Copies of this chain bind each other. A is one copy, B any other.
Amino acid sequence: MARPTIADIARRAGVSKGAVSFALNGRPGVSAATRERILRVAEEMNWRPHSAARALGGARAGTVGLVLARPARTIGLEPFFGQLLSGLQAALSTRGTALQLLVVEDTAAEIEVYRRWTSEHRVDGFVLVDLQVRDPRVPVLEELGVPAMVIGGPGRHGRLPSVWADDREAMLSLVEYLAALGHRRIAHLAGLPAFQHTRRRIRAVRDGARRLGLEAVSLPTDFSDAEGAAATRALLARPRRPTALIYDSDVMAVAGLGVAAEMGVAVPGELSVVSFEDSALARIVHPALTALTRDTFALGEQVARALLALLDDPGTARDIKNPTPRLTVRESTAAPGDRTA
């Protein structure tokens, strides 16, 4: 038999379709004995639910969506997304839910996908990343009334619940670490100012530097290796150049490392380099990068669990705090002017 349906099971078990549906979904309406028998028959016949049939009838689509807006041909998935993806899928798969991933060109296209997938009933909910300052996606998702979890925060994402890590606290710890090493002039190679987390990190650098009496400057970039390199070149060419650089991403930090090597600036002897984002990339370059480490896989799991809970009960929208990233010291940082390093 090709693909048994619940009608086949019902016939074989001598019950009705309804009884089979109840039994297979673990809901009341059948006795324990009958349920047992039905499950055994379903197992024997190797029955699998037809996802489309289930999605019809107003039930779940069994899928949640993740849409990334970035130019298609630029760098592939950053390690962050690979990890996040795996974490999301790990948690979702325990509940038979799939993750639909789509990469689009820009935010407008992203919003269009939200509308389409919602009206086509393709997904039950969304995961939102890269929260922007006055994020246009938030009101759209609220209007669509579709469950969604935001990664990032706190605050500024309307009524949508979020999972967030304390970027401010993390950045402060970075600045304090550099200050403790003896650095007095630091620079921060930030990401796109349109992102909320970029703004938060810039503010944290400013506040931390002020408190510790450091000179600090933040330079916004577009997160690309090209701009990271260009900004680094400009900084190192200054007469009183900084003795430590904080990069918002591992890719930019690696690009910066390349510029330092090219300009003959020794790392960490003459320049300390720190990445706000840890990854395999940060480990394999030479010198290995001191970086903020966070468990992105676990973050993904947490987000997925929260979204599943939200699907079960739309009332449970609450913000959840993720552990603050911890500093992993490697070879790219030292006291300023330490010629032995």
State A279–B78 Cα separation when bound (angstroms).
Answer: 12
Check if A234 is an interface residue, CB within 8 A of chain B: no
Interface size on A, residues (CB 8 A): 60
**Which of the residues B81, B85, B225, B288 comes within 8 Å of A258, measured between beta carbons?**
B288
B82 near A76 with CB under 8 A, answer: yes
Min Cβ gap A113→B in Å is 9
Q: Is there an interface contact between B72 and A76, defined as CB atoms closer than 8 Å?
A: no
Residue in chain B with minimal CB distance to A55: B52
- Chain B residues whose CB sits within 8 angstroms of the CB of A288 once the complex forms: 258
Kindly identify, within residues 68 to 126 of chain A, every residue whose CB is under 8 Å from any CB belonging to chain B.
Answer: 72-83, 85-87, 89-90, 93, 98-103, 116, 119-122
A3 touches B50 (CB 8 A): no
Residues of B within 8 A of A85 (CB): 75-77, 101, 103
CA distance A56 to B55 in the complex (A): 9
Chain B residue, CB-CB nearest to A85: B103
Asked if A258 meets B286 with Cβ closer than 8 Å, knowing A3-B119, A82-B75, the reply is yes
Question: With A and B bound together, what is the CA distance between A281 and B257 in angstroms?
Answer: 12
Which chain B residues border A32 with CB–CB below 8 Å?
none
Q: Which residues of B contact A210 (CB under 8 A)?
A: none
- How far in angstroms is the closest Cβ of chain B from A207? 31
Give the residue name and chain of the B residue nearest to A83 (CB).
B76
Most buried by B among A100, A120, A255, A283: A120
